[in-house]
């Protein structure tokens, strides 16, 4: 199961805070939620600090989202190692509050 909490931190940036496992239909849900925000012209930051497990389908989704400019942050160390091995850029900031605050700083925002 994957829980997604949406935090609109300003008019242009949304942080999706994830808790649980990213696999199967949950991967599809994550992609849909992320694309909905990016298509609305918002920057998206995924906070993975609460993620326990990511299956191949989740890695594929994270790769596509990262390639589309979605920032992946708050990633636990072991999971960050796996994602980086798969060629996915991650921000290793650990705390959700840190991720949300960092998303609002001009120098930390990616444009689409």
pLDDT at 12 over 70: yes
Question: What is the model's pLDDT at position 2?
Answer: 96
Distance CA 17, CA 86 (A): 22
Rg (CA), the chain: 12
Task: Report pLDDT digits (tens) over 55-81.
Answer: 999 999 999 999 999 999 999 899 999
For residue 48, being part of any structural domain is answered with yes
Q: Tell me phi and psi for residue 32, to 5 degrees.
A: -60, -45
Residues in the chain: 112
In a domain? residue 112: no
pTM of the full structure: 0.83
**How many structural domains does the chain have?**
1
Residue 41 resides in a domain: yes
CATH code of 50's domain = 3.30.750.24
pLDDT digits (tens, 9 = 90+) for 22-63: 999 999 999 999 999 999 999 999 999 999 999 999 999 999
| Residue 110 clears pLDDT 70, i.e. is over it | no
């Amino acid at each position: 199961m994957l829980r997604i909490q949406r935090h609109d931190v300003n008019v242009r940036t949304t942080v999706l805070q994830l808790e649980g496992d990213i696999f199967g239909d949950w991967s599809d849900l994550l992609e849909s939620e992320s694309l909905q925000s990016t298509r609305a012209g918002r920057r998206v930051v995924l906070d993975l600090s609460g993620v326990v497990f990511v299956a191949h389908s989740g890695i594929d989704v994270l790769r596509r989202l990262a390639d589309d400019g979605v920032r992946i942050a708050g990633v636990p160390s072991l999971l960050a190692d796996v994602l980086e091995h798969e060629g996915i850029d991650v921000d290793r900031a650990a705390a959700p509050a840190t991720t949300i605050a960092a998303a609002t700083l001009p120098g930390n925002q990616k444009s689409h």
